[in-house]
Amino acid sequence: MANELIKEVVCPKCGETQEHKTFSQIYTAKNAVVKQKILKEEFFNWTCPKCGYFADMTYPCLFIDIKFKYALLFLPVGN
């Protein structure tokens, strides 16, 4: 994966602050685990390790699969 960014996330349930990794570009052919999470729609899932609160942490990113020669630009809309 490339372009790793670390952001602080505050859990809306318990207030715990923690670091969360995000990526602007993801090379899926290099990481089978990430590719499976994307296909299962689990890549953006986030669970607070302190209280178990679950959230969908979507953000814009580019998925690239060199092996199958495709790229997918993900741009979530709404709040």
Asked if residues 44 and 55 have their Cβ atoms less than 8 Å apart, the reply is no
pLDDT tens-digit map of 37-64:
888 989 999 999 999 999 999 999 998 9
Quote the pLDDT of residue 79: 55
What mean pLDDT comes out for the span 2-25?
A: 90
Query: DSSP assignment, residue 30?
Result: G
Q: Checking phi first, is residue 47 left (phi over 0); if not, alpha (psi -120 to 50) or beta? A: beta
Close Cβ partners of 37 (under 8 Å, ≥ 6 residues apart): 43, 45
pTM of the model: 0.73
> Would you state the pLDDT for residue 16?
95
Say whether pLDDT at 19 is over 80: yes
